Structure 1
């Protein structure tokens, strides 16, 4: 079973979205630089903090990406962790999904690609880098 590990929301104003989620929910923000597309990481939970009692690992964290004029489906979405992104892409297509481009490398993180499910929802998947021994 491949778990949901991350969420993503687009933004038009980075400072405004950081301020909103920090003030409204107390999330901690880490702003990344130009080399990472001005992405903002959001930490939504800490070990030992409140979470759904039925959640195996508590809550997930996420991030915010800058809205781009030429990108499709810039809406809130989730990221699913997969072991093999190429195999997962074949499964998505075989199940009736539509890939939104080719995987992109996120330095120090892994391979990432978005897709639409059969209901036209935008979802993404990530093959994380293997930890070095």
Structure 2
């Protein structure tokens, strides 16, 4: 069962998705599910995640994604603790999420399925 505030997913820059998928599949046995031409989710890696190939959305570094049952409540907790929301809550295939920066400048995201 998913728990609030726990690492749930990691999103990485994808670049050349066909080459990236071929590499991780061949080298490590990861399996992929494509969500359009610019995003591929991976499994069989120890932690689920995905590669973002859209140049306008690609993270500059791996993006750690935390889980929340109540996204609005978690956003309020992040702000109250001193986090800076850099992408307000938005919908995407699979759920909704927001991005924030912690006091050290790390960007993370919080996601919910609904």
TM-score (norm 2): 0.84
Higher strand share: 2
Aligned residues: 111
Task: Find the counterpart in structure 2 of residue 85 from structure 1.
Answer: 71
Task: Find the counterpart in structure 1 of residue 97 from structure 2.
Answer: 112
Task: Find the counterpart in structure 1 of residue 86 from structure 2.
Answer: 100
Task: Find the counterpart in structure 1 of residue 44 from structure 2.
Answer: 44
User: What per-residue deviation string (whole Å, max 9, x for no partner) do you get for residues 81-106 of structure 1?
Assistant: 10111111111111111111211112
Whole-Å Cα distance in 2 between the matches of residues 80 and 44 of structure 1? 19
User: What per-residue deviation string (whole Å, max 9, x for no partner) do you get for residues 102-121 of structure 1?
Assistant: 111123x2111111111111
Larger Rg: 1
Task: Find the counterpart in structure 2 of residue 14 from structure 1.
Answer: 17
Query: Residue 73 of structure 1: CA displacement?
Result: 5.1
For residue 33 of structure 2, give the secondary structure of its aligned residue in structure 1: strand
Q: Which portions of structure 1, spanning 4 or more consecutive aligned residues, are displaced by more than 4 angstroms?
A: none
Given that 1:113 and 1:126 are in contact with CA atoms closer than 8 Å, whether structure 2 keeps it comes out as: yes
Structural RMSD (CA): 1.9
TM-score (norm 1): 0.73
